[in-house]
Structure 1
Amino acid sequence: MIKQVATLILLCMISVCHAQDFSALWQGYFSYNTIKDVVAGPNKIFAASENAVFTYDLSTKALKTITTIEGLSGQTITTIAYSDRYDTLMIGYANGLIEIVSGPENQILSVVDILDKQTIPPNLKAINHFNIAEDKVYIATDFGISVYDLERLEFGDSYFMGAKGSHVKVQQTTTSNGTLYAACGDNNAIKSAALSNPNLIDFQQWQTLGTGSFVAVQQVGTRLYAVKTDQSIYEITNNIVTARFKYASLPLDATSVKDQLVLTTKDHVYIYDSNLNLITSVALTSEYDTQFTSAVILESTIFVGTQHLGVLQSNFFNSNTFEVIKPEGPLLNDAFKIEAAHGNLWVTYGDYTESYNPFPLRSYGISHLNNETWNNTPFDELLNAQNLNYIAVNPFNPSQVFISACQQGLLELNNDTAGNLLDHTNSGLESMRVPSSPSTISVRQTGSMFDRNGVLWTLTCRVDKALKSFNPSTGEWRGYSFKDIIPDAFHDELGFGDIAMDRNGTKWIGAFNKGLIGYNENGAKIKNLNTEAQNLPSSVVNAVAVDHNNQLWIGTIKGLRVLYNTAGFFEDSNATVKEIVVLDEGIPQELLSNQYITDIKVDGSNNKWIGTLDAGIFCFSPDGQQTIYHFTTANSPLPSNFVKDISIDAQNGKVFIATAKGLMSFTSGASSPKEALSQAYVYPNPVRPEYHSLGANNLNDITKGVKIKSLTENVNIKITDIEGNLVAEAQSWVNLRASRSGYNFAIDGGTAIWNGKNLANHIVSSGVYLIMISDLDTFESKVLKLLIIR
């Protein structure tokens, strides 16, 4: 008893925090195909996907999303419930977190009491069900029941109903005639107790009804029904549990709506009156390849959550006809590789293990984002290409895309349509040769990318000619052998991942056993670094990226390295890579020491974006000495700290981040330079007072300040007033946003940003300003006019 009272006191000490809205700089791209739960509100429904929620208004047909951008945690959702009385949506998670979304502005409150409760094992914290009874919420969890007060926004009692107050898994609760009923798993049957009893924290005050394991209990009118794991529905009368009938499969969800029982199995939804008479039913048809997960009714409309198709809408009068309801989004949240190019984003979900084992084979489709519209192509339209991973977009024909398949070869797409599957029979690709099984066919394509001439370079695992080139315009294939460093292609190296190219035409490749490999076909030069003596912390290289200074950045499973002398790599008999040393409170530290690095990308300002296995994503200054950003789940809308891939759209500087639980983009503002100044422009123009864009001290917030876009690589920009007085000046590679100097005017790649302050550090007055741009290499110049209204 003492232990129970202590637990109660600790749970009463509520821990909440208000969520932050990240919509200014971030955008989320979540999948809404898998629905965990669906509930009804006033003329609208709420549907919970894996880690996001959307609403559907029956009158306007409008869809709105609530995601990590608005402040959700991004964790795995298990259940939701809606309170009409408080206009509040409650969201429960597998880790014990509860989030409360309130009002028309969707204000989010995070309740972390259960999540942070150390005396409850982590595997028992899952929130299984919310039973809202006026101002009280009875929360069914894997450890028992907790009571939450919606009026006070605080916890009350917690009930541990097992023998001697032990934990009991509660799937669902309901109240009937002043009694609280709990459907319990693990053969704990139905537990019941009078709500008027002031001592329900005492396990001895609870009765046990029936036997076995139950998954649901609901009051329907004046009747009480429960669903057991034997696939039967039972009626509870005077504490007697009586079987009514059995279903073909186990019911997955049961809810009571206005004296009607809605019961969902994997392929049917049954709607009963309070006497368990069938009113209508919904059957899954062969047209829809999915399974039902949950359902709710609103007036005469039926909304059914599914495993793969979002929400299906039907009605009482024609229950065999469906309308698909879901927001735009990719196929899945767990993207493997992404590629942003020409204003488009491609996403694959193929996957393989760290050691490049493609099994078990993944048969997933692909997603393509174009002008904010998602086109999802299912697996059965992709020529049976499995384990799709790296994406390469033809720079001279952006509608032509090649996607590596780590089993079948290379999939060619034209205008989103699979045109050809290139393999060992119809191309220069090779299948690996398994000594113990010569007939085995496996064309394990991984890293692929186009060079500036429109030639595709692609890697094949466990074959002698691991590097291949393909010219789509001529159809010519060439193979390049790695035998000098990998004598036995099958046994000596398990696979290759990332590939990058430098100005000298050298291909830099990350390998599993051989570390960093450099190959240049001019002279067939090949060399690798993979030992601690060469300062490589691990032979497993996941990421390679060449920056604007032709330096190679290398990401391993144990940290970061840089190869500064790429041009002399093959001639240097003592080539080594270097760590980056930074001062941390005056103490020299290795940057990202022992971090498992998953990807590295370089933006238009030569900043380095580095993804990690469990520490989120970093953005470093060009030399790595300054951390510009470090985004995690704690300070950003990232739904996971496991960053799987990064891609940067060079046109607009948007950074796309694929995590294990969803895809995000961040507007960094660091776009790539243009070839000429002819397209340079300034915005906003005019700068009006309502924009609130002037005076910001942090130039990293691209929503603030005046932007000058489409600049060339090396420019000087002077801003003067109409009388010719110098107001601000910046130069490429000198005035950087990442600089510790705190400039008011800075240039990053093809974009400059000015906070509106003059040389005296005061915000300028209203007037016309001249922006004079000079290219320091070509002597091209351009003058723009800017109107500021204060």
Structure 2
Amino acid sequence: MIKQITTLIFLVFFVLSSHAQDFSALWQGYFSYYNIKDVVVSTTKVYGASENAVFTYDLTTKELETITTIEGLSGQTITTIAYNETYQALLIGYANGLIEIVSGSENKILSVVDIVDKQTIPPNLKRINHFNVDNGRVYISTDYGVSVYNLERLEFGDSYFIGSGGSQIRVEQTTILNNSIYAACGDNNAIKVADLSNPNLIDYQQWQTLGDGNFVAVESVENRLYAIKTNQVIYEISNGTFTALFTYSGLPLDTKTANGNLVVTTETNVYVYNSSFTTLATAVLTSEFDTQFTSATVAENTMFLGTSSFGVMKTTFSNPSNFEVVRPEGPLMNDAFKIEAGNGDLWVTYGDYTVSYNPFPLRSFGLSHLVEENWKNTPYDSLLTAKNLNYVAVNPFKPSQVFISACHQGVLELNDEVPTLLLDHTNSALESLVVPSAPNEISVRQTGSIFDRNGLLWTLTCRVDKGLKSYNPSTGEWKGYSFSEIIPDAFVDELGFGDIAIDRNGTKWIGSFFKGIIGYNENGNSIRNLNSEDQNMPSSVVTAVAVDNNNQLWLGTIKGLRVLYNTSSFFEEPNPTVREIVVLDDGIPQELLSNQFITDIKIDGSNNKWIGTLDAGVFYFSPDGQETIYHFTTTNSPLPSNFIKDISIDAQNGKVYIATEKGLVSFNSGGSDPKEELASAYVYPNPVRPEYDVLGANNLNDINKGVKIKGITENVNIKITDIEGNLVAEAQSRVNLRASRSNNNFAIDGGTAIWNGKNLANNIVASGVYLILISDLESFETKVLKLLIIR
């Protein structure tokens, strides 16, 4: 029996550290808590560490809270955690040697980078394997040896290189018994032991060796010492003698002392013993759960079991087969491949293919859907065998109908979140590639998919003649369009297509591997491509395409960014070329994003550009690319990685979702798409009260400040006057932009205008009633709003 305890809580923590800061004002995190790396317990809480985030479970209230990059964690890969009651400190260890200490009721975060920065230790040996806290000192087991950190003074002490001749060896775990420190070592170094009162422990000769071979754990319980060898046997060590007690069916992955008990975890079993090695409880993984145990701890007579794909499972000593799943809400995985946002929802897929569109090895993962801040995760076995799910296309005329490309099987159709049909070569116009040497091989390699304004789904198939197809969900009609004019041999001459965009003229713009950017318009059967240096293409590999609000085509390649400014005459122009964007860097002309691997391009409601890269984070540019509004990386934002997989913007609320290889976050940009008419325009907060503290901000990009006017049309002029008609502020679309260095008091961002409450003299206005006069410059529609300000 399984009972799931879930909640979605994004806490606002105060974070204090030279390396950590709180981003909770504008950012939100969506991390996965299915794969648990470690789980520990304090007197009041259970702490579960997933791949790069931590959650707490209150033993009394059963409340769940999360600590992520939003609150200041690094986003690196977690390997181990420990909790110390004396200092109320949670220690988090990472694969790269980073240590973070979360302390106090306010969860202040301190980043300790000494091991990361240590030049004498190779990067591949800095992994943190275990923390052992004793008398205010933390003995840190690593792949190079043991380091000591003082929790009282928050500083490092000595490091012990205890291999032969003082060499660096892997230490899996340490424990302390009778003032001696024991270390379980790899590299055939057995158990090392030394007297803690010895002031010269940096001398490897002060360490003695017990036993032989490789050990994965050593732990003391009361006055007894236990160790586990790679032969899967647990021993009791007494006076240097090893006594075999039990042989496990698999190698133990986690061994710890909790509440006076010894807890040993294998992939399929968790054993709880008292100090005398009497079994108190055993949890067995049954066929009902397709997962493995990863770690475990106990609180009184309750076990908390970390798993690789279920989160933390809670059970009791008396009934260890009755499980509850304890985890915060979140997506299935952190490594999202494609995302699609809109109308407050977010779809997440986890398929994959290489830059050359090779889908192997196939990824049999599920699907995630965020609806009203709740995650609905569909496992793979409910997806009609669809593997390598990638692009998501939501029917604009029927949002409950969703089509997801599967780069091996075709297109998966969902209705009301239920997978209902897998469209492939047997029941649609979709085609399998034909391998000359293996004509019976079937592979329907679907990638980019998008709906046009008429409700037709356009989808791309790799390595077939009719690489572009349209599908009418209302009639079931399919049409295929051949690319043989530029791709004579579909299997050999082009490895695949990825991103697709549609401009105002109905031209489909397709990014390819060999053929660069392909433009196709079925009206007249026009097709053309740009892929050579003569056409100013930095590479033939086009990874991202987007059409902006001026009908200009922005395209990303593996070697930089280009723009096709004249899309309307692309098929008629004798020698069309793309252009780079040149910006001034300290007065010197430079090509924007030169040689950068562009992974995605998205356009927001005010025509600003969001551009993701392979290793440089996210860039947010003004409409013409001349001004960098933001450049988000792991060092100045909650991005858990600088490898951006995909970006999607919810035009309804301006929220920008960013998928990285290590997790998903969103940034509240505050913009929105313009409306067709002014009927729904409104102003908020209204009234503006003193406690709101929203007036006077100099940076209009902080959407928590200022007065917002939403629901405006694409091209407006807005005047703000006092009740007597005196002009206070004025802004116009495309003129007064919200870029960070524009120094506007009033600006328009797509369908949203932001006013900081200052007048033309740059002073905050007085209390009173203000009129907001909105005029559409094209339709001449007008609307008047009233705003009350109380200071």
TM over 0.5: yes
Amino acid at match of 2:168: H
Equivalent-residue separation in structure 2 for 1:225 and 1:677 (angstroms)? 74
Pair 1:663-2:667 in alignment:
no
CA distance in 2 between counterparts of 1:688 and 1:18 reads 36
Aligned runs of 1:189-228 on 2, under 5 Å? 189-228=190-229
User: Which shows bigger deviation, 461-470 or 432-441?
Assistant: 432-441
Superposed, 1:467-478 pairs within 5 Å as 467-478=468-479
Q: Distance in 2 between matches of 1:484 and 1:26?
A: 47
Deviation at 1:739, TM superposition (A): 7.1
Distance in 2 of aligned mates of 1:788 and 1:598: 45
Partner of 1:8: none
> In the alignment, what sits opposite 1:317?
318
RMSD (Å) for aligned C-alpha atoms: 0.9
Aligned 1:334-413 pairs, distance under 5 A = 334-413=335-414
544-553 or 720-729, larger mean C-alpha shift:
720-729
Once the two structures are superposed, residues 644-683 of structure 1 have per-residue CA deviations (whole angstroms, 9 ceiling, x without a partner) of 1000001011100000000010001121001111111111
Query: In the alignment, which residue of structure 1 is the partner of 2:588?
Result: 587
* Displacement of 1:16: 6.8
- Residues 673-719 of structure 1, C-alpha deviation per residue, up to 9 Å, x if partnerless? 01111111111111122222111111111111111111111111111
> Following superposition of structure 1 onto structure 2, how do residues 446-465 of structure 1 map, counting pairs within 5 Å?
446-465=447-466
Q: C-alpha displacement at 1:385, in angstroms? A: 0.5
Distance of 1:16 and 1:394 partners within structure 2: 46
**Shift of residue 299, structure 1, vs aligned partner:** 1.0
- Whether contact under 8 Å (2:17, 2:109) holds in the other structure is no
Superposition map of 1:635-650 within 5 A: 635-650=636-651
Q: Deviations over 1:348-387 (max 9, x none)?
A: 0010111101111110111000000000000100000011
1:85–1:134 Cα contact (<8 Å) kept: no
Matches within 5 A, 1:739-758: 740-758=741-759
Task: Give how far 1:314 is off.
Answer: 0.4
1:259 deviates by: 2.4
**Contact (CA 8 Å) 2:259, 2:299: kept in 1 or not?**
no
Amino acid in structure 2 at the alignment position of 1:253: D
Partner of 1:604: 605
CA distance in 2, matches of 1:207, 1:271: 30
User: 1:626, 1:504 → 2: CA distance?
Assistant: 29
What's the CA shift string for 1:409-436, capped at 9, x where partnerless? 0000001101100011111111111111
For 1:686 and 1:146, locate their aligned partners in 2 and report how far apart those are by CA, in whole Å: 58
The 2-side partners of 1:169 and 1:690 are apart by 56
Distance 1:543 1:318 in 2: 54
Distance 1:434 1:495 in 2: 14
Q: What residue identity is the alignment partner of 2:683?
A: V
Q: Distance in 2 between matches of 1:483 and 1:461?
A: 13
1:152 has 2:153 as partner: yes
* Shift, 1:61, TM fit: 1.1
Structure 1: which amino acid aligns with 2:738?
Answer: R
Q: State the match for 1:329 in structure 2.
A: 330
Helix, strand or coil: the match of 2:427?
coil
Q: Deviations over 1:547-573 (max 9, x none)?
A: 000000010000000000000111111
Q: Which residue of 2 aligns with 1:479?
A: 480
Residue type of the alignment partner of 1:20: Q
Letter in 1 for 2:90: L
Conserved in 2, the CA contact under 8 Å of 1:716 and 1:776? yes
- 1:301 and 1:789 map into 2 onto residues whose CA distance is 55
2:18 is paired with a residue whose SS is strand
2:170 equivalent in structure 1:
169
Tell me by how many angstroms 1:741 deviates: 3.6
Code of the residue aligned with 1:616 in structure 2: it is: G
Given that 1:368 and 1:375 are in contact with CA atoms closer than 8 Å, whether structure 2 keeps it comes out as yes
Q: Do the aligned partners of 1:557 and 1:597 also contact (CA within 8 Å) in 2?
A: yes
Q: Which residue of 2 aligns with 1:511?
A: 512
Q: Which residue of structure 2 aligns with residue 441 of structure 1?
A: 442
Q: Is the 8 A contact 1:20 1:70 kept in 2?
A: yes
Length-normalised TM-score, structure 1: 0.98
In the TM superposition, what are the counterparts of 1:17-96 in structure 2 within 5 Å? Answer: 17-96=18-97
Query: What's the offset of the Cα at 1:289?
Result: 1.2
SS in 2 for 1:630: strand
> Contact between 1:17 and 1:111, CA under 8 Å: does it hold in 2?
no
Matches of 1:434 and 1:528, distance apart in 2: 25
Distance 1:416 1:155 in 2: 52
Contact 1:16 1:112 in 2 (8 A): no
Distance 1:733 1:618 in 2: 20
Q: Helix, strand or coil for the counterpart of 1:679?
A: coil
CA distance in 1, matches of 2:60, 2:19: 31
DSSP-derived class of the 2:679 partner = helix
Counterparts of 1:740 and 1:185 in 2: how far apart (Å)?
A: 56
Q: Is the 8 A contact 2:41 2:258 kept in 1?
A: no
Q: How far is 1:437 from its partner? A: 1.0
Contact 1:536 1:577 (C-alpha < 8 Å) held by counterparts:
yes
Rounded to whole Å, the distance in 1 between the matches of 2:164 and 2:572 is: 75
Aligned residues of 1:745 and 1:752 also touching (Cα < 8 A): yes
Q: CA offset at residue 536 of structure 1?
A: 0.2
Q: Is the 8 A contact 1:43 1:298 kept in 2?
A: no
Q: Tell which deviates more after alignment, 682-691 or 728-737.
A: 682-691
Amino acid at match of 1:498: D
Q: Counterparts of 2:555 and 2:280 in 1: how far apart (Å)?
A: 64
The one-letter code sitting in structure 1 at the alignment partner of 2:409 is Q
d(CA) in 1 for partners of 2:779, 2:459: 36
Return 624-633 or 338-347, whichever deviates more.
338-347
The amino acid that maps onto 1:347 is V
Cα distance, 1:242 vs. partner? 2.1
Identity %: 75
What do the CA deviations read for 1:712-757 (whole angstroms, capped 9, x no partner)?
Answer: 1111111111111111111111111127441100001000000000
TM-score w.r.t. the length of structure 2 is 0.97
Q: Summarize the alignment of residues 121-270 of structure 1 with structure 2, pairs less than 5 Å apart.
A: 121-270=122-271
Distance 2:417 2:370 in 1: 11
Shift of 1:63: 0.4
Q: Secondary structure at the match of 1:123?
A: helix
Q: CA deviation at 1:268?
A: 0.8
User: What SS does structure 1 have at the residue aligned with 2:96?
Assistant: coil
Structure-2 separation of matches of 1:338 and 1:625: 28
Q: Write out aligned runs for 1:533-544 (5 A).
A: 533-544=534-545
Equivalent-residue separation in structure 2 for 1:273 and 1:664 (angstroms): 43
What is the letter of the counterpart of residue 215 of structure 1?
Answer: V
Aligned to 1:11: none
Aligned length: 776
State the shift of 1:113 in Å.
0.2
The aligned counterpart of 2:731 is 730
2:706 paired with 1:681:
no
Structure 1 position 318, deviation (Å) = 1.0
**C-alpha contact (below 8 Å) 2:17/2:108 kept by paired residues:** no
Distance 1:551 1:389 in 2: 26
Mapping for residues 521-600 of structure 1, pairs under 5 Å: 521-600=522-601
Alpha-carbon deviation of 1:304? Answer: 0.3
Give the drift of 1:258: 3.0
Per the TM alignment, residue 17 of structure 1 is displaced from its structure 2 partner at its CA by 2.1
Q: Following the alignment from structure 2 to structure 1, what is the Cα–Cα distance between the partners of residues 741 and 156?
A: 47
Deviation readout 1:516-542 (Å, 9 max, x if unpaired): 000000000000000011000000000
How many angstroms apart in 1 are the aligned matches of 2:111 and 2:748?
39
Q: In structure 2, how many angstroms separate the alpha carbons of the residues matched to 1:524 and 1:104? A: 66
For 1:739 and 1:96, how far apart are their aligned partners in 2? 36
Q: Which runs of 5+ in 1 are unaligned?
A: 1-14
Of the structure 1 ranges 132-141 and 193-202, higher mean CA displacement relative to structure 2 is found in: 132-141
Which secondary structure state, in structure 2, belongs to the residue aligned with residue 489 of structure 1? coil
Cα drift, residue 18 of structure 1: 4.7
Give the distance between the partners of 2:177 and 2:310, measured in 1 at CA: 35
- Preserved CA contact (<8 Å) 1:469 1:478: yes
State how far apart, in whole Å, the 2-side matches of 1:638 and 1:690 are. Answer: 32
Superposed CA deviations along residues 285-342 of structure 1, whole A, max 9, x for unmatched, are 2211110000000111110000000000001111110000000000000000000022
Letter of the 2:364 partner, please give it: S
